Amino acid sequence: PLLQLPTELIQHILTFLDAHHLACIAPVCRRLRDISYHDTIWQPIVNDFIPNAISEPSPAKSFRELYIGHHPHWFLTKQYIWFGDTEPMGKLLLARFDQKTGAITAHSIAATRGPHTLSFWEKDSEVIIHSFEPRVTLDLHKPAMRLHLNSWQNQDSSHGNPSDRAYAPRSTYSKETNDRYSSAGHRPSTLDEVSQNNFRIRKWVEYTGRRTIPSWITISSGSKDITTYASMPASCYTPTPQKPWQGIWCGDYSGHGCEFLVITQPDPDQESPLPSRMDWLREWFRGGRRGSVGSNQSFVTAMEELLDLPEGTLTEAGTDVGYDSPPASPSSAMHDIEDPPTGRIEAIKLTGDPNIPRGEYTFIAPDIGRGGFIRIADEEMFQGARVVRSAGHMAGRGFQRDQYTPSQLIMISHDRLAQFWEGFGHISYYQRVDLD
């Protein structure tokens, strides 16, 4: 009965199939093969993996050939934001399809701080404000990865020369934490084993620009490097009307330079328990006093180690440890707005530094609603910004004696935030990265 239908109807029916099932349909008969090869069926399949849809399959002859030419690597452009475990700080990649060359390329995302000036806070002349106008670009000099069209045909080259080849590990391994994975094994043998959420890049040393390996270097020698990259659900960083601060951000980390982080606003039923090292701040988060003397002493000790100060330099009370909310002027708006935002903001590092590595919280604002509200800023620099209680993450070099310090999140706009690090006496900025 199917073959008795008009060609247009059969084409429409086949548009509901994925690539795998279309491949199963083609061998049935010549008519189904010809219909299933049509570009009207394959163009939407290809465009489903590309953020910016294309209307022509060039340099391939058809969209079906284009799909086959990069199968099974289309997940790279589908996810397109990838973060890696490159030592010591990690790396952020943007993968995309280059229609001019037909290749899938991944470039490192880099940021420069821009002109740097210092100013002092109107609320407290001892608090330093660091200017921050980051310039975020793609490093186009050398891609971290390039997959040419039909590169799969050369994967088993008779020359056996290594390459900067990317491959997706078995999907079961995506559930594990990968930290500087070093084995060349565990390559998937079937399509079902290919992970859609992480991949690895193997690199070998090149000698005098040649790809050939000297006989004394083996595939298992230490001359290779394997980096694991992973993606995250788009729902974690895609802003919505209810979660306008979600996204990929660039932060100012002073001497460490620019770092990338993801800011997410989890639903109440998906919120993880707050880190135990924030326990001493729980009362403060609820609008009361901070934790016990013992907790303050722990904070002071961590601060002294972080700043490389002699023991006893800092005190347990006063501005050396932290600030209360800045004094309000008579014109300050100390009353919250009628319809405030709600929920939690979590900022997690995608790239790290010698103190706080990638994958760790950089700050948490447990309640950006009425529970964490401090004030509406009336100073000129942050006029009208919402200020809420937060906790900044700090540690000594090598992530030693990490601790959370009282801070205030200044919510300037949906694209720009500032953090008042009370224990450090400075304010730094975070800027949203435009992924488009």
Per the domain annotation, does 189 fall within a domain? yes
Please determine, for residue 324, whether its predicted confidence score (pLDDT) is greater than 60.
Answer: no
> For residue 115, what pLDDT is reported?
85
Query: Both 281 and 415 in a single domain?
Result: yes
Least reliable range by pLDDT among 14-18, 158-162, 356-360: 158-162
Output the pTM of the full model.
Answer: 0.80
Per the domain annotation, does 327 fall within a domain? yes
What is the Cα Rg of the chain in Å?
Answer: 26
Question: What is the mean predicted confidence (pLDDT) over 189-205?
Answer: 83
> For residue 180, what pLDDT is reported?
52
Question: What is the mean predicted confidence (pLDDT) over 170-187?
Answer: 50
Total length of the chain: 436
Q: pLDDT digit string (tens) for 35-79?
A: 999 999 999 999 999 989 999 999 999 999 999 999 999 999 999
Least reliable range by pLDDT among 39-53, 89-103, 165-179: 165-179
pLDDT classification of 224: cutoffs 50, 70, 90: low
> For residue 377, what pLDDT is reported?
94
Residue 59 tokens, joined: 């340099």
Question: What is the mean predicted confidence (pLDDT) over 89-94?
Answer: 91
Query: Both 296 and 159 in a single domain?
Result: no
Q: What is the rounded distance in angstroms from the CA atom of residue 54 to the CA atom of residue 40?
A: 13
> For residue 183, what pLDDT is reported?
53
Least reliable range by pLDDT among 14-18, 171-175, 243-247: 171-175
Query: Both 412 and 309 in a single domain?
Result: yes
Task: Give the rounded percent of residues in the chain with a pLDDT score beyond 70.
Answer: 77
Q: What is the rounded distance in angstroms from the CA atom of residue 290 to the CA atom of residue 278?
A: 11
> For residue 318, what pLDDT is reported?
36
User: Of the candidates 429, 427, 422, 409, which has an alpha carbon nearest to the alpha carbon of residue 369?
Assistant: 409
Query: Both 30 and 165 in a single domain?
Result: no
Per the domain annotation, does 365 fall within a domain? yes
More confident of the two residues 134 and 321: 134
Question: Which residues, at least 6 apart from 243, have a Cβ–Cβ distance to it below 8 Å?
Answer: 264, 265, 343
CB pairs under 8 A, 24+ apart, for 164-167? 164/201, 164/202, 164/203, 165/201, 165/202, 166/73, 166/76, 166/106, 166/199, 166/200, 166/201, 167/199, 167/200, 167/202
Please determine, for residue 216, whether its predicted confidence score (pLDDT) is greater than 50.
Answer: no
Q: How far is CA 231 from the centre of its chain?
A: 8
Query: Both 210 and 239 in a single domain?
Result: no
Domains: count for the chain: 3
Question: Which residues, at least 6 apart from 273, have a Cβ–Cβ distance to it below 8 Å?
Answer: none
Cα four-point dihedral sign 381, 420, 387, 354 = positive
Query: Both 278 and 199 in a single domain?
Result: no
Query: Both 147 and 246 in a single domain?
Result: no
More confident of the two residues 306 and 373: 373
Query: Both 288 and 425 in a single domain?
Result: yes
Strand 103-112 with 135-138, pairing: antiparallel
Per the domain annotation, does 342 fall within a domain? yes
Query: Both 202 and 247 in a single domain?
Result: no
Per the domain annotation, does 117 fall within a domain? no
Q: Which of 209, 230, 251 is the last residue of a domain?
A: 230
> For residue 95, what pLDDT is reported?
95
More confident of the two residues 330 and 136: 136
> For residue 361, what pLDDT is reported?
96
Query: Both 42 and 180 in a single domain?
Result: no
Q: Which of 230, 262, 278 is the last residue of a domain?
A: 230
Whole-Å CA distances, 80 to 52, 87, 94: 12, 21, 5
Please determine, for residue 296, whether its predicted confidence score (pLDDT) is greater than 90.
Answer: no
> For residue 101, what pLDDT is reported?
93
Judge whether 109 and 92 are in contact, CB under 8 Å: yes
Per the domain annotation, does 115 fall within a domain? no
Per the domain annotation, does 379 fall within a domain? yes
> For residue 173, what pLDDT is reported?
35
Residue 398 tokens, joined: 């090598």
Query: Both 146 and 205 in a single domain?
Result: yes
Burial class (CB in 10 A: 0-12, 13-18, 19+), 386: buried
Q: What is the DSSP string of 37-57?
A: T-HHHHHHHHHTT-SS--S--
> For residue 206, what pLDDT is reported?
62
pLDDT classification of 157: cutoffs 50, 70, 90: very low
- Give me the domain span that covers residue 83: 77-110+138-230
User: Of the candidates 335, 331, 318, 294, which has an alpha carbon nearest to the alpha carbon of residue 422?
Assistant: 318
Mean pLDDT, the chain, as a whole number?
82
Burial class (CB in 10 A: 0-12, 13-18, 19+), 146: middle
> For residue 88, what pLDDT is reported?
72
DSSP assigned state of 244: T
Per the domain annotation, does 122 fall within a domain? no
Q: Which of 230, 254, 269 is the last residue of a domain?
A: 230
Judge whether 258 and 111 are in contact, CB under 8 Å: yes
Query: Both 35 and 18 in a single domain?
Result: yes
Residue 430: Cβ within 10 Å count = 25
Please determine, for residue 32, whether its predicted confidence score (pLDDT) is greater than 90.
Answer: yes
CA atoms within 13 A on the CB side of 201: 21
Least reliable range by pLDDT among 182-186, 195-199, 422-426: 182-186
> For residue 334, what pLDDT is reported?
64
Question: Which residues, at least 6 apart from 105, have a Cβ–Cβ distance to it below 8 Å?
Answer: 95, 96, 98, 143, 145, 146, 147
pLDDT classification of 320: cutoffs 50, 70, 90: very low
pLDDT classification of 373: cutoffs 50, 70, 90: very high
Please determine, for residue 265, whether its predicted confidence score (pLDDT) is greater than 90.
Answer: yes
More confident of the two residues 188 and 331: 188
